[in-house]
Amino acid sequence: MTTIKAAVCTDYGQPLQIETLHLRAPLSGEVEVSLEAVAICHSDISYADGAWGGDLPAVFGHEAAGRVTAIGPGVTGLKMGDRVVVTLIRSCGSCVPCATGHPTICQTASPHASPLRREDGTVVHQSMYTGAFAEKVVVDQSQVVALPDTMPPEAVCLLACGVITGVGAVVNAGNLRPGQDVVVIGAGGVGLNAIQGARIAGARRIVAVDMTEDKLEVARSFGATDGVLATGKAPYRQAMKLLGRGADLVIVTVGAIPAYNDAPRYMGWGGKVIMVGMPHSGQTAQYEPVVMAFTGQGMQGSKMGDAVIRRDIPWMADLYTQGRLKLDELISGRWSLDQINDAIADTRAGGAKRNVIMF
């Protein structure tokens, strides 16, 4: 077994603890990746707060990049030293969702036993199939995609979740057509990428909705044509005035119930809400079904941007190298693993787009 340092969650809502853990070698179909960078996603924070339950102790972190340093039997298409993006999307490739192009909702992929142990043999759970708040990970080969060495690791890691989730919500789930109008609720890391996705896909107008003017200004730099403060009275009416009609797509990127309650009000006839942000378990939103039935509107969930990672991640990496997809601009700060609790606190404060742990 390999010895690594990792940030371990031992109690919900408490600071992570830096521990020395044992990481087993990759089994059949698995690879070991020595990490160079991992971004902090709000999902990691919600899990560490106990929002969705799960077993402890656990290592969170799921937006990672690094180098392949060990390969298990049966692995194809990867070689030692490859720079890879590591995602939480583990897929079997053969169930109905996978076979129809929806590996993010794979029905049959089952994880091996966690590869992480404490010195005394206690199992440490590998959260979200990844456990990337650590120096190394062992993951299934379906979770990684090789990318060019020319891309910096802190840019590569962002392609694991926030970027594919935001861009994919527009392009894959929303199926945006050129000339359509988009409202993006929430201008955080995922929201900025939804805005980028709408710009790249040829949206006519892109309205960002958020709580502060500062975040709306950042949204404009990523491609939003207009901004609306969510703190105002009936912000959906202001968006309607800007668009001249209701939106074709409304992308909800925050897990806030007020945002979900208001989202249908931004839609035009035939419009669609794409539900990306995840509220805590047990929380509910309200809407009026008769309005959607009469106007031909809809609501659709989107997990991880409905991404097919071996198709979508290389495409987005190429957009980055062309200067058409902003990644470097998403990075708010670079931190060490020992500083992870400070980085999480900075992310909680709301101003950070993405804080990245560098190894």
Torsion, Cα of 339, 341, 342, 348 (10° steps): 150
Pairing of β 247-252 and β 267-275: parallel
Sorting pLDDT into bands at 50, 70 and 90, what band is 111?
A: low
Quick check: 336 and 314 in contact, CB under 8 A? no
Residue 242's Cβ-count burial label (10 Å; 0-12, 13-18, 19+) is middle
Q: Which residues 6+ apart lie within 8 Å of 110 measured at CB?
A: none
Reply yes or no on whether the pLDDT at 357 is more than 80. yes
Reply yes or no on whether the pLDDT at 52 is more than 90. no
The tens digit of pLDDT for each residue in 232-259 reads 889 999 999 999 999 999 999 999 999 9
Q: What is the structure's pLDDT at 109?
A: 74
Domains contained in the chain, CATH given: 2-160+326-358 (3.90.180.10), 166-301 (3.40.50.720)
Reply yes or no on whether the pLDDT at 112 is more than 80. no
C-beta neighbour count of 93 within 10 angstroms: 11
Reply yes or no on whether the pLDDT at 351 is more than 80. no
Reply yes or no on whether the pLDDT at 34 is more than 80. yes
What is the pTM assigned to this prediction?
A: 0.94
Q: What is the structure's pLDDT at 277?
A: 94
C-alpha distances out from residue 324 to 36, 161, 321, Å: 24, 18, 8
Reply yes or no on whether the pLDDT at 353 is more than 80. yes
Reply yes or no on whether the pLDDT at 5 is more than 90. yes
Reply yes or no on whether the pLDDT at 110 is more than 70. no
Mean pLDDT of 195-201: 98
Mean pLDDT of 109-119: 85
